[in-house]
Amino acid sequence: MPLVPMRQVLDEAAKGGYGVGAFNVNNLEQIQAIMEAARETKSPVIIQASRGARKYAHDRFLYHLMIAATEIYPEIPVVLHLDHGNSVETCKSAIEMGFTSVMMDGSLMPDGKTPSTFEYNVKVTREVVEMAHAKGVTVEGEIGCLGGIEDGHGAGLDGLSHLTDPDQAEEFVKLTGVDALAVAIGTSHGAYKFTKKPTGETLRMDRLIEIHKRIPNTHLVMHGSSSVPKELQDIVNQYGGKLKPTWGVPIEEIQLGIRNGVRKINVDTDNRLAITGAIRKVFMEHPEEFDPRAYLKPAREAMKKVVMERMIAFGQAGHAGDYEPIPLSVMAERYAAAAV
């Protein structure tokens, strides 16, 4: 099965009333962990690479690892998505490299730090939509600014200062034609999202529900949506780590989102914590070990377990075989027909 356009996976998720986790990868073990979790839970899956990941691993490695995943797991629909593209050029290179979905994050300037204007955001996103849809590739946009910084990307703001405005979201979708929209509702990238369990004031699910009412046919995306469970923090700290106490987005809030138009949920931090905890445990308990497999295997297992839990919680489990994936060329024809 070739890599699948994200639009199809999200359309199917909307039909089925579930969400799909989008998990970040940088290396072989993370891809294996996600694919094993997908097989075991029979889940369609979105695997995403940030600019940092593309730089770390190199596009060709990532692409061929993903092709290997589709060969080894032919029963699983897999999307390869670019996370936080900072410019038209970055999105273009990802499309040329074989990504089946790209995010044009025009909420920030190309430096990935400075909040942009609405006009700038519309202009670059529109450009990416035209280029991507001609090839059947899906586009995610962002309006409003998420909190935090990850991989050098982000304005470093708190999550609440640039919330998505529902009027602007509606206008943005009309002007750009994006397939999916990332909304800022108080979440942040990284491990330190909330200083205590989020309330309706710090995590604005009311805002998300309002946005969904305005653009019911646009798939909403929740970024920075790791739950940062205490158990994962504890394992890291128990084996010599130094994480400060922190709170993520509770699973039940994500599920509320899924009932209100959220189809893609970005999770990275939870997997990072699981990997780091497992590796630290081996290092502390078996200091005589020096075969990387001795700690990468438990790390991969730990990440697989977290991904499986998320797949079940988001509702994507059991849906891998629901539909026949369509190639990018067919998707391109659909976009062309819809534009007439």
* Residue given tokens 């308990």 in the structure block: 285
Site for Zn ion contains 223 (CB under 5 A): yes
Q: To the nearest 10°, the Cα dihedral for 142, 145, 149, 150?
A: -10
Q: How far is the CB of 193 from Zn ion (least distance, A)?
A: 12
162 is a site residue for Zn ion (CB under 5 A): no
Which part of the chain contacts Zn ion (CB under 5 A), choosing from 219-227, 256-264, 268-276, 304-312?
A: 219-227
Measured in degrees and rounded to the nearest 5, phi and psi for residue 288 equal -80, -15
Is 81 an interacting residue with respect to Zn ion (CB under 5 A)? Answer: no
Residue whose CB is nearest to Zn ion in the complex, by number? 223
Q: How far is the CB of 148 from Zn ion (least distance, A)?
A: 9
Nearest CA among 254, 257, 261, 224 for reference residue 11: 261
| Nearest CB to Zn ion, comparing residues 36 and 268 | 268
Q: Strand, helix or coil at 264?
A: strand
Q: Residue 30 is encoded by which pair of tokens?
A: 């993370």
- The residue behind tokens 């190639």 is 327
What is the residue whose two structure tokens read 């988001």?
Answer: 314
**Considering beta carbons, is residue 32 or 50 the nearer one to Zn ion?**
50
Nearest distance in Å: CB 224, Zn ion: 6
> Could you tell me the two tokens for 34?
């996600």
* 3-class secondary structure, 260: coil
Could you give the string, one character per residue 165-204, with x where binding to Zn ion holds by CB under 5 A and - elsewhere? ----------------------------------------
**End-to-end Cα distance, the chain:** 30
Q: Between residues 133 and 193, which has the closer beta carbon with respect to Zn ion?
A: 193
Give the residue numbers annotated as catalytic, written as ranges: 83
Binding site for Zn ion (CB under 5 A): 223
